[in-house]
Amino acid sequence: MSETNGLTLPDALPASVLDGVGPEDTFDVVVVGFGIAGACAALEAVRGGARTLILERAAVHGGTSVMSGGHFYLGGGTAVQKATGQDDTPEEMAKYLLANSSDPEVDKIEAYAHGSVEHFDWLESLGFEFERSYYPEKSVIQPGTQGLMYTGNEKVHPYRDQAVPAPRGHKVPVPGDLEGTKLVLDLLKDALEAEGVEVRYETGAINLVTDGDRVVGLAWRRFTETGHVRAGSVVLAAGGFVMNPDMVAAHTPNLGSKLFTLGSTYDDGLGIRMGASVGAELKHMDEAFITAPFYPPSQLVKGIVVNKRGERFVAEDSYHARTSYFVMQQPDQAAYVIVDSEHMEKPKFPLTPFIDGWETVEEMEEGLGLPAGSLVRTLGDYNEHARRGEDPQFHKHPDWVAPQDQGPWGAFDLSLGKALYAGFTLGGLRTSVDGEVLRADGTPVGGLYAAGACASNIAQDGNGYCSGTQLGEGSFFGRRAGRHAAAAGHAS
């Protein structure tokens, strides 16, 4: 049997272990994991005529998805975009995603952008509506039930010059940042029950079963009980690996002890390692989402962010994970948010702690331990251009450019180990646009699919991540994997 942590790959078991498996344990499609990707895969599979089973290690549905903020990254002209006067097209959405990716998978991005409106409608058909309203401020998530806001770098240089900006962060209409996704997962659970999908809780998949080069089933464990199921196709949707310290150390060491990990107990990478055990290629395993937002309030974005040399290094209006991505590259991973008295407002929930205030910039330099004259030069140069509404150094959007020349001045600590950084993994199994798990030579592993955090899809790098991509692409590509797995499962 397999291990559930460390770097060990579980053994792939021979088809002979399925001898004696009866019809009650034989399915067209078996989905591993009941988060957003697994639920959408299972629903599309059963609607495609497949006898479908979900194995879920937890005692309840939801997985790590229910820990998310409730954003779905969708565009191309959704009903909310149209109702709020936000012009968008699939072509512009694709341009942005391509520009925002360091290693774009063009077929996936094109499919996602051009299928986004249909996917929006499919999500609403579950039994809810995104509110037809727009939130214009800079925030991590809408404070109320507003249905749309910017959740990426669409208006940030250089992306705003490469694609027409449009807000695409669609939030489920529930106040707060957790209950919205639970609402969607509850609706998916109801839909799956209505379709007769069997769910076995507290039952974890631990090994893949193969016949030659094709996956034909699974081994499972439930407490001390073990067994096997036969499957025409298997969909791995078992989450990422942020809760596996050995995998984190090997692949994403920045997600170390100084960060709060965003994941559930079962984000131990077992699904990824199961895929690797049958020859799957792993992609972008060194990439992670890491962030410590210093806004809201949004007016703090009008300040400047400097490193320990007193130098700016990023446009402050960047999406919070992009700013954090650049903080990780600074000396000692140290950074400070500097604002004047006109723009000073302490966050209600400060993830970035306030350090102190100073009457002069020179005193601030000394208090922060910055080189003498460094912050004076940096702030003086910024203010000179900001008075004309310009930022020639980093091209901050004019909406967020304002001189910081009204003393006293205050500073917030954006340094790793001082600010509350959180993160999760982005790498996973290489997949096709239909969720087929692929080998290094591009050939599919027969009968095996992956979606969600198990797979490496379009949100593959922390510099270009947008809030809502995990739920958006997890549900979108989960659906595609479920449909394809159903067809393949019938045929096997």
389-422 tens-digit pLDDT: 999 999 999 999 999 999 999 999 999 989 988 8
431-457 tens-digit pLDDT: 999 999 999 999 999 999 999 999 997
Query: Of 141, 171, 201, which residue is a domain's last?
Result: 171
The verdict on residue 7 lying in a domain is no
The number of distinct structural domains making up the chain is 3
- 27 and 79 co-located in one domain: no
CATH, residue 239 = 3.50.50.60
- What mean pLDDT do residues 464-489 have? 92
CATH, residue 377 = 3.90.700.10
Full residue range of the structural domain in which residue 135 is found:
71-171
pLDDT at 189: 97
Lowest mean pLDDT among 250-264, 276-290, 403-417: 250-264
- 213 and 277 co-located in one domain: yes
pLDDT at 2: 43
% residues pLDDT > 90 (the chain): 79
The verdict on residue 1 lying in a domain is no
Query: Of 394, 413, 432, which residue is a domain's last?
Result: 413
pLDDT-based confidence at 1, cuts 50/70/90?
A: very low
- 246 and 389 co-located in one domain: no
Task: State yes or no: pLDDT of 235 exceeds 70.
Answer: yes
Average pLDDT over the chain, rounded to an integer: 93
Is pTM beyond 0.75? Reply is: yes
- What mean pLDDT do residues 319-340 have? 94
pLDDT at 63: 84
- 304 and 405 co-located in one domain: yes
- 300 and 406 co-located in one domain: yes
Task: State yes or no: pLDDT of 4 exceeds 60.
Answer: no
- What mean pLDDT do residues 282-303 have? 91
77-94 tens-digit pLDDT: 999 999 999 999 999 999
- 22 and 99 co-located in one domain: no
- 235 and 144 co-located in one domain: no
Task: State yes or no: pLDDT of 197 exceeds 50.
Answer: yes
pLDDT at 69: 77
The verdict on residue 487 lying in a domain is yes
Question: What string of H, E and C letters represents the secondary structure of the chain?
Answer: CCCCCCCCCCCCEEHHHHCCCCHHHEEEEEEECCCHHHHHHHHHHHHCCCCEEEEECCCCCCHHHHHCCCEEECCCCCHHHHHCCCCCCHHHHHHHHHHCCCCCCHHHHHHHHHCHHHHHHHHHCCCCCCCCCECCCCCCCCCCCCCEECCCCCCCCCHHHHCCCCCCEEECCCCCCCHHHHHHHHHHHHHHHHCCCEEEECCEEEEEEEECCEEEEEEEEECCEEEEEEEEEEEECCCCCCCCHHHHHHHCCCCCCCCEECCCCCCCCHHHHHHHCCCCCEECCCCEEEECCCCCCHHHHHCEEECCCCCECCCCCCCHHHHHHHHCCCHHHCCEEEEECCCCCCCCCCCCCEEEEECCHHHHHHHHCCCCCHHHHHHHHHHHHHCCCCCCCCCCCHHHCCCCCCCCEEEEECCECCECCEEEECCEEEECCCCEEECCCCCEEEEEEECHHHEECCCCCCCCCCCCHHHHHHHHHHHHHHHHHHHHHHHC
- What mean pLDDT do residues 465-487 have? 94
